[in-house]
Structures are given as structure tokens and as C-alpha cells.
Structure 1
């Protein structure tokens, strides 16, 4: 290859490489703007943005992708909470009232996991009203769990915090789903 020909061949590559950081910055700005817009009507905007941005997949996601990420985060949280409850129950030496509340809570979270899984399937089918219905049921499960611990402290407070995070994750999914519907 002659020197001038090789230079002309490398010129487009050089131009592309010099523009790449700017192209990536625009893409990241667009994803950040989409996340901010998706979380705009959330009652916990900062939490909504932070939770969605915690997923690497959010950087290239469209609105349905963000809804999927929000539901996956809620599902993961519900699964972690169900596991935590099982560990506490397995440790034994619990007061009967607390043990019953945990047993009920375990059942509620297993149901909530199913509801979120159904929501994911509904989202894939673009059945946005069904997504809303299933997520509402999952929220009811978390609320029922919470009501079993009224007036208790100690380990119940840790579960109260877990319930609050789960409800916020579900609310994020509902806010995004509403934009899709």
C-alpha cells in the first residue's frame, strides 16, 4: 500500500475513534435522561433513579427495558427477603407471636415473588394492565407482612426496612408501567 493510500484508509478510523467518546457521552446522557423521565412521577425519585442506574443494563435500555429492570430488581429483593425470613425461622428460639408473623410473612413473600414473575410475563406480552394488577397484589402481600409485625421491635424492624424497599421497588415498576400503558 502506498503511504497516501494507507493514510486515506486510516482517516475514517481516526475520525471515528476521535468521535467515539462524544458518541458514548451522548448515549449515556440519553439513558440518564430516560431514567430521570421514567422516575419523574415516583414518590421516591432519588431511590428510583439510583436503583435503575444500579443495573448496568439500564445504560442501553428503552422504557420497556427500564420496566423490566425495575421488575427484576423487585423480584430479586423479594427473593432475598424470603431467604432472610427462612433463615430467621430456621434459627429457632422465637417467640410464638413473632414466629407466626414470620411464617405468614414467608407465605406472603412467596406469593409476591409469583406476582412479580407474572408481571414480567405480562410486560413481555405488553399487557400493561395485567402488570399493574400483579404488582398491586405483590404490594398487598408486603403490606400484609408488615401488618403482622405491628408493635414488635428487634428483628421485626429489619423486616420493616426490607418491606419498605420492596414497596419502593414495586412502585418504581408501577410508575414506569404507567408511562407504557
Structure 2
């Protein structure tokens, strides 16, 4: 995703979260079943990925939006940590100085992404959904930034996967109107 697209996504997200913060607080307790999952995934950057993820992740179908967000963030945290370890291994094997720099940048990105995801979990746990979304978006941007130097690689696939998982976090609170 190009930086301009990320900036546009962040802006759109900020507007959507502001609207959500004022209109959906009472709806956070809805449960995510088939129709709600479908409505959420209709807004996703990758609808099929979103559907597969939400339908196959244990606990999602019985969770409310906050619980689902925490489950998705736990998954994102595990993926970001795993990818961070993967980048460390790539860095250890790299011999090309340019490639080493790319991996060092990615390692820094993933260190920041893990921190952002942890902060998002804390915010969501405390009911600060806007803060959680801003932090999840920051983690998403870190994955996207790493991806700029590794397009077409296995690391790029990991970056894109984390980006899509975090996209789900961004959609959950904005989807609270699905029970209207």
C-alpha cells in the first residue's frame, strides 16, 4: 500500500472512529455471528481473508466487539512477534549490506508494531476504542513500511498478512451499527 493510501486510510479511519465514538458505544455488546461478520468483512481490504479469519478464529463467534477486538489483537501480537523473530533470522543470514539495512529497518518496524499492538490491547481493554484503533493503525503502518523494501518475498507475505489482520481491528468498532 502506498504511503498516500496509508495516510488516506488513517484520515478516513479517524473520521469513522470519531463518528463511532459518538454513536455506537451502546452497541459494543453485540455478538459476532454470520450476518455481523459478513457486514464487517464487506468493508475489509480483503473480504475473503476477513471472513476466513473471523470464522476460523476460536472465540470470535461468541465474543462481543471488545472481546473480538482483543482476540484479533492477540493474534496480531503473536504474528508480529513471530515476524520480528523471522526478520532477526534473516538479518543474521544476510551478507549484502543493502539487504542488511532493509532488515534492520524491518526489525525496527516490527519492534514498534509489537509495542503499538500492546498499546492497542491496553486501550481496548480500557474501553478506549479510538485509541486502540489509532495504535493498531500505527502497527499496520509499520508492517506496510517494512514491506516497501521486501516486495515479493516471504517477508512481504507476512507483512501483508499482519496488515489484513489489523484491518479487522479497525473495522470492528466502526461496524457496531450492524445490529441496528
Greater RCO (CA < 8 Å, at least 6 residues apart)? 2
Would you say 1:81 and 2:77 are equivalent positions? no
What residue in structure 2 maps to residue 11 of structure 1? none
Contact 1:118 1:134 in 2 (8 A): yes
Q: How far 1:162 moved relative to its partner?
A: 0.9
What residue in structure 2 maps to residue 63 of structure 1? 65
With normalisation by structure 1, the TM-score equals 0.73
For structure 1, the 5+ residue unaligned runs are 1-29
Would you say 1:130 and 2:131 are equivalent positions? yes
What residue in structure 2 maps to residue 167 of structure 1? 163
Would you say 1:108 and 2:109 are equivalent positions? yes
Q: How far 1:64 moved relative to its partner?
A: 1.7
Which structure has the greater CA radius of gyration?
1
Out of 32, 35, 42, the residue aligned to residue 34 of structure 2 is: 32
Tell me the matched-pair count: 146
SS state at 1:133 partner: helix
Q: How far 1:36 moved relative to its partner?
A: 2.2
Contact 2:144 2:160 in 1 (8 A): no
Out of 143, 151, 175, the residue aligned to residue 179 of structure 1 is: 175
SS state at 2:159 partner: helix
Residue deviations 1:92-112 (CA, integer Å, cap 9, x gap): 352110111001101110110
Tell me the distance in 2 between the aligned counterparts of 1:175 and 1:34: 11
Aligned residues: CA RMSD: 1.9
With normalisation by structure 2, the TM-score equals 0.73
What residue in structure 1 maps to residue 146 of structure 2? 145
